[in-house]
Structure 1
Amino acid sequence: MTPPSSGFPTLPAIRAARHRLGDRVETTGVRRWRDDPLQARLAPGTDVWLKEELFQRTGSFKPRGALTVMMSLTPEQLARGVTGVSAGNHAISLAYSARQLHSTATVVMPRTANPYRIMLCVELGAEVVLVDNVHEAFETARAIERDEGRTFVHPYEGPLTALGTATVGMEFIEQTRANGVELDAVVVAAGGGGLTGGVACAVKLLAPDTKVYVVEPEGADTMHRSFAAGAPQSIDMVRTIADSLGAPRCEPYSFALNQAYVDDVVLVSDDQIRDAMRLLYRSAKLVTEPAGAASLAAVLGPLRDRLAGQQAGVVVCGGNVDAASFCGYLALDE
């Protein structure tokens, strides 16, 4: 791991950020997941603790970062509004955050975005601009920023975004400790690395011996490629059902934060994600989007033997999926 930077979140700053967020975000629940179907899939002695961030405002962890960024804006900037790029969850969080802070949001989404998520953005008052792909989306959002004076809020890059997402990791460690448990590992899925970097930073500040494992889909492996290369990398196209994890590239700050605090990056297939969604539904009674099941997919797959006999924390990062798509994911290969 690289030495931590002075520009990374500190524990006092994370606590202050959580206090400032107040009741605009939920302190989502943590529970020990014990069930025969789950235990049959785990290595002997593994216990799983779920951080159920799918019950966050807007259905994912995203408002923590978006609000932290937007609450730093001046009144004049808030009056001009914000813009951003997203396949769904970040766009929804921008719409929510803008409403909370009496601002406005214009979000740019690929045409392939789930119509359900587009509907949620519109219901929250955002203007939605649809484009052909995620690369064009960034160009369009930058044009909106230039032409309309809106502030661009990046979906995963930057110190304030990481400060907001770090509150997930801080809560997780403190909530499990309140249950008398020290987590041996925390498993969290990566889109661009804003969530994973913030969570890993907070976890290591509070519990230096706890391992942090980052999970990516095989079809959107920017962080995995970046770790292998030792520098931020890009992919030409996103090829996964977990579109919330479909970042086209790794950015410098997020990469550095992950490189400093993350122990390893592992990959899961779409089939493994579907399998994890089925188990979460059957056993934990959770309806998750594919991204929300990616961490469990790693616990059942590439991390299974490494987590044997350990207390494993799993971040369930989101649940924004429409009924038809969810049923389709569960029905495949049945």
Structure 2
Amino acid sequence: MARVASAQLDRIGVEEIREAARVLTGVVRRTPMESSRPLQELVGGPVHLKCENLQRTGSFKIRGAYLRISRLSEDEKAAGVVAASAGNHAQGVALAAAMLGVRATVYMPVGASIAKLAATRAYGAEVHLVGETLDDSLVHAREFSATTGAVLVHPFDHPDILRGQGTVGLEILEQCPDVATVVVSAGGGGLLSGIAAAIRPQRPDVRIVGVQAVQAAAWPGSLAAGRPVRLAQMSTLADGIAVGEPTALTFAHVQQMVDDIVTVTEDQLSRAMLLCLERAKLVVEPAGVAAVAAVMTDPERFRPPVVAVLSGGNIDPLVLLHVTEHGLVAAGRFLSLRLEISDRPGSLARLLSRVGELGASVVDVEQSRLGAGLALGDVEVDLRLECRGDQHRDDLIKVLSDAPGVRILDHS
């Protein structure tokens, strides 16, 4: 991605980010950086995970939120603050406001994660559920600000937010001095802009890559048009990066300092979450794992040493269960079959015995004589199996397809 001349951009500076780090000392955690052997094997060199999912409130958002609120005047603090968020920024604002003795009001979409909603209220904020998207909630937050005088703490459209998020970039350079590529999830671009502003002036050789969910990717079209462009619609599990349009502030930083923006699918996000759970023992939400998904999908694009930022770990347990199962399917580890077999004694036992001989584990099985179009004397069997991977899954389908007395009606 071509970058414009630096003279065209009045961007936040490294010293400003260093000052932000001093303000945040004792407030935020210096999150760990963990090596990933599976990703290293794919890339052919070191890959490290910057674990902002282990930050206070479960994401990087506390960094920018605290810095922004701490720098308000006493009169502004007395008026309170208001924010709009799908969840992570809400928690960051709520905790930061509580720590600074400021009243906080937060607007969240009606479909916001129950876990994120409960945590935001637990930190002391007054929460209102409005609209279907973050943009809808932001409209209400702006109206509240205009009528009450509360200061709007935007999730990414303020220099102090970018300065706070940029402290992640400082830590990356300290923890991995030889880093060659930094990969960051991107919604509105606050984290990506801040990290780029911290790293680019000090290490112009480092490649900086932003990652979006393909079903909520505002950045590729905006960069191609040379200006922020609003998406007509979005649909992704990665609610934390489902932002319909960048702002002028983040657009200028990303256009100037970020090398590339890539997109990942829902399947790829699910597989990345599964890898973090199984191999790194880390709980990461769909938005937070976008950088890992990009590295897994196209490892040759990323020159090592690579740092992939895990931006958040706040996920509802039911969503985690759904996404994990989705990831198992995407990784060839889970197979659902709808079969037709003879309704004779021993037919189901022989089918299950054959499945066991093929090395698959039966998760559950259901038999019915009431399937639509089912021939007299046959039964329909719904079978869910745990497999060892794509090849094993394909082998199971082939062998069962060729088995006498067995007809596969559907599989997924």
TM-score under structure 1 length normalisation: 0.94
Percent same amino acid among aligned pairs? 37
The CA deviation string for residues 243-279 of structure 1, in whole angstroms up to 9 with x for no partner, is: 0001121110100001111000000001100000000
Of 258, 283, 291, 1:262 maps to: 258
2:279 pairs with 279, 283, 288, which one?
283
Mapped to 2, the partners of 1:9 and 1:139 lie a distance apart of 27
Instruction: Please say which structure displays the higher CA radius of gyration.
Output: 2
1:10-29 matches, within 5 Å, as 10-29=13-32
8 Å contact kept, 1:38–1:283 = no
**For the residues of structure 2 that align with 1:166 and 1:296, how far apart are their CA atoms?**
20
Secondary structure in 1 aligned to 2:65?
Answer: helix
**What number of residue pairs does the alignment pair up?**
324
Question: Which residue, out of 320, 328, 331, partners 1:326?
Answer: 320
Q: Is the 8 A contact 1:170 1:206 kept in 2?
A: no
- Matched-pair contact (CA < 8 Å) for 2:9–2:252: no
Return the offset for 1:6: 6.1
Asked if the contact 2:39/2:47 (under 8 Å) is kept, the reply is no
Tell whether the 8 Å contact from 1:7 to 1:159 is kept in structure 2 after alignment: no
Output the amino acid matched with 1:103.
Answer: V
- The structural deviation recorded for 1:139 is 1.5
- Picking from 301, 314, 325, the partner of 1:306 is 301
Secondary structure of the residue aligned to 1:206 is: coil
Task: Give a deviation string over 1:190-215, Cα, whole Å, max 9, x none.
Answer: 01001101111111122110000000
Superposed CA offset, 1:301-328 (max 9, x none): 13x11225x2111000000012221121
Displacement after TM superposition at 1:136 (Å)? 2.4
Instruction: Write the distance in 2 (CA, Å) between the matches of 1:88 and 1:108.
Output: 10
* Contact 1:268–1:297 (CA under 8 A) maintained in structure 2: yes
Question: Which residue among 191, 210, 216 is the counterpart of 1:214?
Answer: 210
Within 2, Cα distance between the matches of 1:128 and 1:58?
Answer: 16
**Contact 2:39–2:296 at 8 Å: present in 1 too?**
no
Aligned to 2:96: 97
Mapped partners of 1:111, 1:165: distance in 2: 27
Counterparts of residues 56-95 of structure 1 (less than 5 Å)? 56-95=55-94
SS at match of 1:156: coil
Is the 8 Å Cα contact of residues 39 and 295 (structure 2) preserved in structure 1?
Answer: no
Q: Deviations over 1:125-164 (max 9, x none)?
A: 1111111223321221111101111000111112111111
2:4 is aligned with what amino acid? T
Q: Does the alignment pair 1:297 with 2:297?
A: no
Q: Which structure 1 segments of 5+ residues have no match?
A: none
Given that 1:173 and 1:206 are in contact with CA atoms closer than 8 Å, whether structure 2 keeps it comes out as: no
What secondary structure does 1:108 align onto?
strand
Q: Which residue of 1 aligns with 2:172?
A: 172
SS across alignment from 2:93: helix
**Does 1 or 2 have the higher relative contact order (CA < 8 Å, sep 6+)?**
1
In 1, Cα distance between the equivalents of 2:9 and 2:40?
42
What is the distance in 1 between the residues matched to 2:169 and 2:290? Answer: 17
Which residue number corresponds to residue 137 of structure 1? 137
TM-score (norm 2): 0.77
1:33 is matched with 36
